[in-house]
A = this chain, B = another copy of it.
Amino acid sequence: MNRIGKKLGVQTFALASPPVIIATGTVVGPFEGKNAYHDDYDMIAPDLSLGQSSFELAEKEMMTNACQKAMQKAKRSEKDIDLFIAGDLLNQLITSGYSASYIGLPFFGVYGACSTSMASLGLASLLIDGGFIGTALTATSSHNATAERQYRYPTEYGNQKRPYAQWTVTGAGAALITTEGKGPRVTHVTVGKVTDLGTADPLNLGAAMAPAAVASILQHFADTKRTPEDYDLIVTGDLGNFGAALFQRWLKETGGIDLGARYFDCGAEIYDRKKFPKVQSGGSGCGCSAVVVFGHLFKEMIHGRYRRILVAATGALHSPTSVLQKQTIPCIAHAIAFEFP
């Protein structure tokens, strides 16, 4: 093996021997199970507690279940895997820490808020292509009840939300990535820079994150000398309906690019917003892009609908403390190009 990766342009890494995602595992909550792509998920939890005594433990249960599903589908066990890379929204990445304890693999915790699905997969891809590891397991999750009480208000208050607010997805996604096999391959990883245009409203995260998605996608095209036409689908993580509209407008204004029917936002698509108006602008949370990309879009690739997709998962890196201190919201987007076959 003589695999030497390389950096293209400013922020993109091109993989010499693109690693392959041989299996994914996705677990969602009961509400997500009543919405789009419900046939594409591996497990739909009957309730938000998953038999646990707290929502936090339920989220850990979802993440470990997603990991086990991915391993089962690929007929691999922990002993076949070199490294676990995971992250989530909860303070001190508690879901990932407890999951890593349960799974028992060497572990790196990563935090990129809702960009974690692509941050963890990107890092795993680079470590595999660098020759250090053969197989990695990556995972991320979010849970509506744990996120609401950490970031916003006790759900018992019944706070009303504005139309641009988003609904945190209850879901976990895991990916098993290795050197050889059948599945979508990671060909390029564009690592995001933090973008902060001064937005400070934590209930309007789509608007905060959209500029980060624009920046990373334009940089991906500049670094790789590719154009939107090189992709069958260009995906953002969880901008939601409002954020996705802003994203498209800014991409046109700053980059002169109209993605048209090639564009897809996981947050805008995961829920049936007409049937369930409580989701307002759509889905958000680390689990959003994880379950839609790993559950739905990879299936579409394997079934031949898309050959090449670019996924820019966006994250808002604020904390409840930074919001109380009236700081702006730093955002990031990590983009990965996937190819199948």
Report A's interface with B, CB cutoff 8 A.
1-7, 10-11, 13, 54, 56-57, 82-83, 87, 89-94, 97-98, 100-101, 104-113, 119, 123, 126-127, 129-134, 150, 191-196, 317-322, 325, 327, 330, 332
Identical copies of this chain, number: 2
Asked if residues B2 and A2 are in contact (CB atoms below 8 Å), the reply is yes
Q: A89-B92, A101-B196 are in contact. List 16 more A-B contacts (CB 8 A).
A: A1-B4, A11-B106, A13-B132, A13-B133, A54-B325, A56-B322, A91-B320, A94-B318, A97-B317, A97-B332, A98-B330, A100-B194, A100-B330, A109-B110, A123-B123, A126-B127
Asked if residues A111 and B92 are in contact (CB atoms below 8 Å), the reply is yes
In the complex with contacts A130-B129, A131-B130, A106-B4 CB distance below 8 A: no
Asked if residues A191 and B110 are in contact (CB atoms below 8 Å), the reply is no
User: In the complex, A327 Cα to B98 Cα: how many Å?
Assistant: 10
User: In the complex, A322 Cα to B92 Cα: how many Å?
Assistant: 10
Asked if residues A318 and B92 are in contact (CB atoms below 8 Å), the reply is yes
* Chain B residues, CB < 8 A from A196: 101
Asked if residues B2 and A4 are in contact (CB atoms below 8 Å), the reply is yes
* Chain B residues, CB < 8 A from A317: 92-94, 97, 109
Asked if residues A93 and B111 are in contact (CB atoms below 8 Å), the reply is yes
* Chain B residues, CB < 8 A from A195: 101
